[in-house]
Chain A
Amino acid sequence: MINYILKRLAVAVPTLLLLIIISFLLMHAAPGGPFTQERQLPAAVLANLEAKYGLDQPLWRQLLSYVWGIVAHFDFGPSFIYKDRTVNEIIAQGFPVTLTYGTVSFVIAILVGVSLGIAAAIRHNTWLDYLAVGVSIGAQVLPNFVMAPLLLLTFTWWLRWLPGGGWEHGRWEYMVMPVIALSTSYMASIARLTRASMLEVLTSNHIRTARAKGLPERKVILRHALKPALLPVLSYLGPAFVAMVTGSVVVDFFFSTGGIGRSFVDSALNRDYAVMLGITILVGALTIFFNLVVDILYGWIDPKIRY
Chain B
Amino acid sequence: MVIDATRMKNLGDRFAEGEVRGRSLWADARRRFFRNKAAVGGLVMLALITLLALFGDSLAQWSNEEIDFDVMGQAAQVGQPSIGNGHYFGTDDLGRDLYSRTLQGTRISLMVGIVGSLIAVIVGTLYGAVSGYVGGRTDQILMRTVDILLAVPFMFVVILLLVMFGRSLFMLFFGIGLMSWLNMARIVRGQTLSLKHKEYVEAAQATGVPTFTIILRHIVPNLVGIVAVYATLLVPEMILIESFISFLGLGVQEPLTSLGALISEGARTIYYGTTWQLLWPLAFFVATLFSFFFIGDGLRDALDPKDR
A residues contacting B by CB (< 8 A) are 11, 15-16, 18-19, 22-23, 26-27, 29-31, 125, 130, 133, 137-138, 140-141, 143, 145-146, 149-150, 153, 157, 185, 189, 192-193, 196-197, 200, 203-204, 228, 231-232, 234-236, 239, 242, 246-247, 249-250, 264-265, 268-269, 276, 279-280, 283-285, 287-288, 291, 298, 302, 304-305
Contact = CB atoms under 8 A, between A and B. Distances in A.
Interface residues of B, number: 57
A174 to B, nearest CB: 21
B159 A149 contact: no
A16 B270 CA distance: 43
Contact of B156 (A193, A228, A239, A264): A264
B160 A26 contact: yes
Nearest to B294: A137
Interface string B139-160: 0000010011011110111011
Contact of B147 (A153, A291, A302): A291
Q: State the main secondary structure of chain B at its contact with A.
A: helix
Contacts of B150: 239, 287, 291
The 6 nearest A-B residue pairs measured at CB: A284-B151, A287-B151, A146-B267, A196-B229, A235-B187, A30-B164
B304 interface: yes
A304 B197 contact: yes
A288 B244 contact: no
B88 interface: no
A137 B160 contact: no
Contacts of B3: 125, 130
Contacts of A189: 233
22 contacts: A15-B151, A22-B152, A30-B160, A133-B2, A137-B293, A141-B290, A143-B260, A143-B263, A146-B264, A149-B267, A150-B267, A185-B240, A192-B233, A193-B229, A200-B304, A239-B150, A239-B183, A246-B155, A250-B247, A265-B159, A298-B190, A305-B193
A196 B300 contact: yes
B289 A268 contact: no
Given A146-B263, A265-B248, A15 B144 contact: yes
B186 interface: yes
A178 B10 CA distance: 41
Contacts of B225: 196, 200
A154 B157 CA distance: 35
A143 B244 contact: yes
Interface in B186-203: 186-187, 190-191, 193-194, 197
Given A29-B164, A239-B183, A143 B243 contact: yes
A18 B149 CA distance: 10
A149 B268 contact: yes
Interface in B109-163: 144, 147-148, 150-153, 155-157, 159-160, 163
B33 interface: no
Contacts of B29: none
